[in-house]
Structures are given as structure tokens and as C-alpha cells.
Amino acid sequence: MASKQPFTDSDIADEAVRATCDDASICKRFATSKGYWTDLYVQYFVRQAGERKAPEINRGYYGRVKGMNLLIDAFLKKTQCDCQVVNLGVENIMPKKFFEVDFPMIVARKIHHIKTKPPLSKPLIETHSTDSLLLDGHSLDSDRYCIIGADLRDFPTLEEKLKKFQINPELPTLFLSECVLVYMTSEQSSKLVHWVADTFPTAMFINYEQVNMNDRFGEIMIENLQRRQCNLAGVDLCQSLDSQKERFLSAGWKSVNALDMMTVYSMLPQEDVARYTSLEFLDEKELLQQLLQHYCICWAVGGLLFSGLSQIGF
């Protein structure tokens, strides 16, 4: 019998990153249970939180989801849904085709949920003929939805798998990421966004991530993650809104914008803000403000074939 290979430092670091993904999913489920937004399917993928989440955490996730969705909706309207979306870790949306990319281990777990839970599998089965639906333990592909297990740091394999499942570079394409690029080295994430800009003539990239990480609050965030053996390998690009934008500008993207979440919050629909502020009492207003000042949304547009994308914003 072959001996089991010991875990490497890289394996431990990757497992710590996957744990942060689980934590975020649990927080999102708790926020939906409080009524911040509606998600009909999160209950089938994520266990209920074992403990109450603080109001500032719930409001932070509300801003994250609402802000991302406003830009996603604007992209879908501009393209009239004649587009495709490559999700590197965000809530589901339905364009012409939706590609989801994640760690192979997370993909296997997600596919298991889909295969074993009728509310997830039934819509797929009902809308696809048998010969157009591929579903196994490592990948899922249909006419409208595809989930792929891949490491974003391995560009050749990522590109090979996207081509295998018939991604169309000629369609307007939206790439989404939430706190993903920061776990790659700056060189790796820059190569990724450069590849997207070179491969897709009409593209948009929306990235939610840390910012202003060079002050004491940012240092505490980094220290807390390091105690969990989770290293923010690309934190040097999270020092300011300018450094976030420069990653895309230096990779050839034509138009780049970035706002911290405090600013995004001020631009959200006021009727919805009034609704969610009534859900629970917020005592730590200063902590919420600090959290919002240390996250941002950066969105970049590339290509000249669909200039209307450059008008997208809050």
C-alpha cells in the first residue's frame, strides 16, 4: 500500500482559504435568515450558523451582495443577457451561460448537494435533455450552467477546462470575484486579469476585496487571518483604491473604477436601506464604518466592441 503523502505548507494554506469561504457562506445564510436579502437556495448548500452574527457583520454582507448585484444587473441589461458570466466565488445569476470556478474540493461538495437535493437537481433535469447534461463527481455542464474544479493559479489548466466546456470568447463576458485575488500572489492575480483582457475582446471584471490595509485596523485583520494560517499573499495590491485599479490598468483594461464600501453604502437605494436598518439594532456603528472603509468594489472594462460597458457604475 502506498504511503499517504504528508500535508505541505501549501496544502495547509489552501485549506485555510477554503475555510474562509465556508465562513463567508455561513454569514450570508445567517443574513438571509434575518431578512437582509432573499436567497432561495443557500439553505441547500450551507448549514445554518451555530451562533448569532453581529449586526455590523450582517450589514457588511448586505452591502457586499447589494453592491455586486447592482453592477451585475447593469451588465446584464447592457448586454440584454446575451453574455456569459465566469464566477470566481459570488452569488448565482443567470446570463446566457454561467460558469463557476472553484477549488476542486469545493466543487465536489457543491455537486454532491446538487445531485442529492431535489430542489437543486430538479430544475437542471427539467430544463435539459439527457444528452446535454453532464453531471459527475468533478464537473457539471449544461446548456446554461457549468461548474468547474480548477486552481486559478494554474492558468493552462483553467483555460483548457473553460475551452472544454465551450466558453465563447466572442460573447460579452463578466468575471466576478469576492476576496479571491488577495489569496493569490500579486504576480498571479495580475497574470489572471491580463489573460482575461487578452482572451475576451468584450469583458468586464468585478472584484470585491480588502483595501486600505496599511493602517492599524488592516494590520489586525491580517494578524487575525495569519493566526488561522491564512496568508493574504496579494495584500500589497490592497493598500489603496489606486493600487486596486493599477492591477487592471497595467494589464491592459481600458476603464477602471473603485469605491470603498462606505461610499457604495451611501449610493444604495434609500428605501432598501431604511428597510434593513429596521431589522436589528446596531450598537457598534464605528466598527461598521471601519469594516466598510477596509473593503472595496473595483470594476474594470476591456475591449472596444461594447463601449456601453464603460458607462456602468453606481
Strands in 139-141's sheet, in edge-to-edge order, are 134-135, 139-141, 145-149, 97-102, 84-87, 173-178, 203-210, 295-302, 255-260
**CB 310 within 8 Å of CB 262:** no
DSSP element (H, E) containing 233 = none
**Side chain identity at residue 118, one-letter code:** P
* Ranges of H-type helices in the chain: 9-33, 42-45, 55-79, 104-116, 118-127, 155-164, 186-199, 216-227, 241-249, 261-267, 270-277, 285-293
Integer Cα distance of 20 and 23 in angstroms:
5
* SS3 of residue 85 by DSSP: strand
Integer Cα distance of 139 and 78 in angstroms:
30
Annotated binding site for S-adenosyl-L-methionine: 64, 89, 151-152, 178
CA 221: distance to chain centroid? 19
Integer Cα distance of 272 and 267 in angstroms:
11
The DSSP code for 211 is -
Residue 304: other Cβ atoms inside 10 A: 9
Tell me which residue has cell 457604495.
264
Annotated binding site: 64, 89, 151-152, 178
* SS3 of residue 93 by DSSP: coil
Integer Cα distance of 71 and 75 in angstroms:
6
* Cross-strand pairs, 256: 300
